[in-house]
C-alpha cells in the first residue's frame, strides 16, 4: 500500500476475565504491535468486552460505520468451543458479506505449527468497507493467525476502499481509481 493511506485498524479483545479486571490482556496489545510494525497500520481504537453477543455485535457495527473510517477490525477471543465463546455468532449477526476463505487460509497456513488451529471457529467478512477478522484468544493463536494473512490484507483493504482497478493484467488502465500493481 505504498501510495495509499495507512490501514486504520481497531482491535477488540473478547474476554470475561479481562473485562472484569481479573486478567491482563496480552493478545490485544500483541496484535496492535504486529499491525503497527508489519503493516504500518494506525490503531484508532481498542476495547475489551466480555463474551456477550449483543455487546460484541454492537461494537462491530459501531467500528464499521463510514464516519469511523476504520478499514480493519480484528477481534481476539471467543472463537473456541467453550459455552461462552460467541464471537463468531456476534459477527455473523451483523456481517453484510461473509468471507470464509480468509480464515480458512489462516488455519491452513497455521496447521503446520499446530493442528489446534482448527479448534478456532473464527470467521471473516465485511460491513460496508470494513473488513472484520475474528481470531483466537491466545497470544500465540491470534498472532499466528494474523501473521498468516499479512501478505494479502493490504490488497483486501485496497479493494474494499475501491482503490483496485487491476487484477494484475499488464495492460490494465484505471477507470474510476488507480491501478494497483503488486510485486510478485
pLDDT in tens, 125-166: 999 999 999 999 999 999 999 999 999 999 999 999 988 866
Structural domains of the chain, count: 1
Reported confidence tier of residue 3, pLDDT bands at 50, 70, 90: low
- Which pTM does this prediction carry? 0.90
Does 14 fall in a domain?
yes
Residue 102 has pLDDT above 90, yes or no: yes
Instruction: Give kind and range of the element (H or E) at residue 97.
Output: strand 97-98
pLDDT at position 1: 47
Give the structural domain span for 90.
Answer: 8-161
pLDDT at position 158: 94
pLDDT one-digit tens code per residue, 105-127:
999 999 999 999 999 999 999 99
Q: 94 with 54: CB under 8 angstroms?
A: no
Q: 158 with 4: CB under 8 angstroms?
A: yes
Helix and strand numbers (H, E) in the chain are 7, 6
Residue 184 has pLDDT above 60, yes or no: no
Cell of 46: 481498542
Which CATH number goes with the domain that contains 28? 3.40.980.10
CA 148 to chain centre: 12
pLDDT one-digit tens code per residue, 24-42:
999 999 999 999 999 999 9
Does 177 fall in a domain?
no
Does 85 fall in a domain?
yes
Reported confidence tier of residue 16, pLDDT bands at 50, 70, 90: very high
Does 134 fall in a domain?
yes
pLDDT (mean) for 96-104? 97
- How far is residue 182's CA from residue 133's CA, in Å, rounded to a whole number? 23
Does 179 fall in a domain?
no
Does 2 fall in a domain?
no
Does 64 fall in a domain?
yes
- How far is residue 71's CA from residue 6's CA, in Å, rounded to a whole number? 9
Does 3 fall in a domain?
no
Q: Which residues contact 178 (CB under 8 A, 6 or more apart)?
A: 3, 163, 165
Amino acid at each position: 500500500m505504498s501510495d495509499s493511506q495507512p490501514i486504520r485498524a481497531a482491535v477488540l479483545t473478547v474476554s470475561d476475565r479481562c473485562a472484569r479486571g481479573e486478567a491482563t490482556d496480552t493478545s490485544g496489545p500483541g496484535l496492535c504491535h504486529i499491525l503497527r510494525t508489519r503493516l504500518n497500520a494506525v490503531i484508532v481504537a481498542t476495547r475489551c468486552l466480555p463474551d456477550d453477543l449483543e455487546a460484541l455485535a454492537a461494537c462491530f457495527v459501531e467500528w464499521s460505520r463510514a464516519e469511523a473510517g476504520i478499514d480493519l477490525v480484528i477481534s481476539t477471543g471467543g472463537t473456541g468451543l467453550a459455552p461462552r465463546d460467541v464471537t463468531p455468532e456476534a459477527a455473523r449477526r451483523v456481517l453484510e458479506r461473509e468471507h470464509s476463505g480468509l480464515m480458512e487460509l489462516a488455519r491452513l497456513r497455521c496447521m503446520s505449527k499446530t493442528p489446534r488451529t482448527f479448534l478456532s471457529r473464527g470467521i471473516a467478512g465485511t460491513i460496508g468497507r470494513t473488513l472484520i477478522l475474528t481470531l483466537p484468544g491466545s497470544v500465540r493463536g491470534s498472532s499466528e493467525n494474523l501473521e498468516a494473512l499479512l501478505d494479502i490484507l493490504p490488497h483486501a483493504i485496497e479493494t474494499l476502499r475501491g482503490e483496485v482497478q487491476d487484477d494484475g493484467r499488464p495492460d490494465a488502465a484505471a477507470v474510476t481509481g488507480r491501478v494497483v500493481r503488486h510485486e510478485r
